[in-house]
Structure formats: structure tokens, C-alpha cells
């Protein structure tokens, strides 16, 4: 038959594995940060808190009304 693609497993992509591994690392670091400094009160965490709050304020401007 012509014009049909074989079904089955998707093509293997190394980038997907790398991206998945990176996302797992980022998630683990985020949970560790929340355990170690839940109030984001120390050092660089305070800067991160300020940046997240600023981004949150920018995003909230675009939220749909309830």
C-alpha cells in the first residue's frame, strides 16, 4: 500500500529524553527549595520571590474576570 504511514511506536527522539530529565531535575530542585526555605526569605531566594511576585502581578492583569 502506498500513502500510509506505519503505525506503532513514535520515532525515538533523544531531545525528548534530555528535556524530560531536565524537567525532573528542575521539579526536584523546586521542591527542595520549598522544603528548605518555604517563605523565600534567605539570600537569592528573596530575589526569586520578588521576581515571581512581579511576574504574577503582570500575569494577573490578563486574567479573565470571574
The angle formed by the CA atoms of residues 59, 62 and 66, to the nearest 5 degrees, is 115
pLDDT of residue 7: 65
pLDDT score at 15: 72
Task: State the Cα–Cα distance between residues 10 and 36, nearest whole angstrom.
Answer: 40
Q: What are the boundaries of each domain within the chain?
A: 14-60
Question: Do 55 and 47 meet the contact criterion of CB atoms below 8 Å apart?
Answer: no
pLDDT, position 64: 55
Pick 11 or 43 by higher pLDDT.
43
Across 17-37, b (16+ Cβ under 10 Å) vs e yields eeeeeeeeeeeeeeeeeeeeb
φ and ψ at 61, to 5 degrees? -65, -25
Indicate whether 5 pLDDT > 70. no
Which pLDDT band, with edges at 50, 70 and 90, does 33 fall under?
A: very high
Amino acid at each position: 500500500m502506498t500513502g500510509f504511514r506505519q503505525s506503532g511506536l513514535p520515532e525515538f527522539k533523544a531531545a525528548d529524553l534530555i528535556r524530560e530529565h531536565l524537567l525532573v531535575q528542575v521539579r526536584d530542585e523546586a521542591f527542595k527549595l520549598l522544603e528548605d526555605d518555604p517563605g523565600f526569605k534567605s539570600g537569592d531566594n528573596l530575589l526569586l520571590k520578588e521576581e515571581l511576585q512581579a511576574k504574577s502581578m503582570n500575569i494577573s492583569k490578563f486574567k479573565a474576570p470571574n
